[in-house]
Amino acid sequence: GRPTIHAYVAAKAGLHGLTRSTAAELGRHGITVNAIAPGYFATELNTALMSDEAFTKWVETRTPAGRWAQPEELGGAVVFLASDAAAYVNGHVLAVDGGLSVSL
């Protein structure tokens, strides 16, 4: 396993809780609060992970999409949440992860 995964998991859970609680608090003022939970994206930040053959194989076999995401694939979710189409979406964490979160 990865030695720092516990800190990552705790931080991620905190962001989910913060999104929900802030949405509940600010919703009455017409303010929506949502978040995006990205999966594994092929970015410069993930170069070390992408060069790890075992980890890349894990991503490709565990993710129903079967691959790393490309950065531009995050844009649609951002545009949606910032648009009027999401006016009644509040307190949601939108997974953009190729299905990884539902396959674990």
Out of 1, 6, 8, 68, the active site residue is 8
The pair phi, psi for residue 61, each rounded to 5°, is -90, -30
Beta-carbon-side half-sphere exposure of residue 31 (alpha carbons within 13 Å): 10
The single-letter code of the amino acid at 101 is: S
C-alpha–C-alpha distance, residues 75 and 52, integer Å: 27
Give, for 102, the enclosing helix (H) or strand (E).
helix 100-103
- Active-site residue, 8 included: yes
Judge whether 89 and 60 are in contact, CB under 8 Å. no
| Active site (catalytic) residues | 8
